[in-house]
Each structure stands twice: as C-alpha cells, then as structure tokens.
Amino acid sequence: MNTALASLEVSDLACVRGSRALFRNLYFKVEPGRALVVEGPNGAGKTSLLRMLAGFLAPAAGAIALRVGDSAIAEAEERAKHIGWFGHQDGLKPQLTAKENLLFFARLYGSNPAHVVPMLDWAGLSRAADFPVQYLSAGQKKRLALARLKLSNRSVWLLDEPFAALDAAGKKLVEQMLAEHCATGGIAIIATHEAISLEASRMTLGNAVAA
C-alpha cells in the first residue's frame, strides 16, 4: 500500500440539517499517522460529519483543509480523490460474487486487480469468493467492505460504525488494519459507539443545539 502522508485540519465547522444545527464551532486536527475516534449519542451528527469530510455535504460554515504529501487541498472535489469510504451501507451488489464486487472496485479506483484475491484471503472470505453477495452474512459483507477499503489505496479513511455486525475476530481485523494504515502515514476518522483498542484521539459530538 502506498499511502502518502496526510493531515486534516477542520476549523470552525458547522453542520445544519433542515432548521437544526447538529454542531458548530468544531475544530480539530488529525496529524499524519493518527486516528480520530468520533463518539456521541444517536443524532449527534457523526455520519453528517463524515459525509462533510468526504465532500458529499457542504459545510454550513467553516473550512476543511487536507494536506497530502506536499500539496494543500481545499477543494471538496480534489479531497474526494484521497478519501477511502466505509459507510454504514455496504456498497456491494447482491447479484455479483464477492470477487466480482472487489474486482469492479479495484478497476474503478485504479488499484491493482491482482491484489483482489490476497485481499479476500485477508478478510477470511477465500471460500466465499465465488458466492453471490446476497448469500453472505451481514458480517461477511462488512469484511468484504473492509477489504475494499484496504484495496482503495486512499490516505484518508472515513469509517462509519465499522464494528456493526462483526464478530470478535472481525473487530480485531478492523483494529489491525487501522493500525497498519496509520503506521504508513495515513489518517483515519472513525465514528463508533463501541470501545476500540487503538491508539487514537477521541472527540465527542454533543447533543444538538437549537439553531
């Protein structure tokens, strides 16, 4: 994996959904090789924050500055090219096999298709590789989505509830891949309710404030 050194700085960020302000005056910085765990009650805006960082949502106020290698990136469209996305929907096609799903994303993201089979082994899915995804369990689908994230070669990982539906071994897999990713200089921002054994900064999004 060739992930470049990345750092992310968020200043004075505000998120407004409808007439409700989810958060405002949010400041944080993630240095190269660091992970940030975002906690908070349901509806605190964790997913909205991740979607904002990915560039799907425009911030109501504030700025998101990404630095990859030597270049500073302010535009959301440029930032998107460095985002590795792990949403709470799996993004898998049920009619295609596990291998076909991964091959498609490898080609779409310009990753090496030869990495697909080793990645399936890594995720513990080598025996399920040729099954259509609709026959896989929820945990297996999560594992497949993790393999896809690892395959993406992106330096900024955004993970939304990565532990949901995973067994103990699967959770270890997540922690291990996050640690490896950070060790190569990448960064990760993880929204979760669950305890995570990873050297990471922590941030709690508070209850919604009235607009």
Partner 1 sequence: MTALFFRDIRLSFRAGGGAMLALAFFASVAALVPLGIGPDLKLLARIAGGVLWIAAALSALLSLDRLFQADFEDGSLDLIALAPQSLEVAAATKIAAHWLTTGLPLTVLSPLLGLLFGLPPQAYPALVLSLLLGTPAISAIGAVGASLTLSIRRGGLILPLIVLPLLSPAVIFGAGAVLAVLDGLSNGALGLLAAFSLVAVVLAPFACAAGVRLNLAG
Contact status: 210 vs partner 1 (CB under 8 A): no
Number of residues that bind partner 1 (CB under 8 A): 28
Contact status: 110 vs partner 1 (CB under 8 A): yes
Which of 146, 136, 137, 165 minimizes the C-alpha distance to 102?
A: 146
Instruction: Estimate to the nearest angstrom the gap between the alpha carbon of 191 and the chain centroid.
Output: 9
Q: Which stretch binds partner 1 (CB under 8 A): 35-43, 54-62, 161-169, 182-190?
A: 54-62
- Say if residues 45 and 53 touch (Cβ distance below 8 Å): no
Q: From the list 12, 27, 41, 81, which residue makes contact with partner 1 (rule: CB under 8 A)?
A: 81
Window 166-205: residues binding partner 1 (CB under 8 A): none
Q: From the list 104, 117, 131, 198, which residue makes contact with partner 1 (rule: CB under 8 A)?
A: 104
Q: From the list 27, 41, 74, 93, which residue makes contact with partner 1 (rule: CB under 8 A)?
A: 93
String of DSSP letters for 80-107: GGGEEEE-SS----TTSBHHHHHHHHHH
CB under 8 Å to 59, separation ≥6 — which residues?
A: 13, 14, 15, 52
Contact status: 100 vs partner 1 (CB under 8 A): yes
The one-letter amino acid code at 155 reads S
Give the residues lining the site for partner 1 (CB under 8 A). 51, 54-58, 80-81, 83, 85, 87-96, 100, 104-105, 107-110, 148
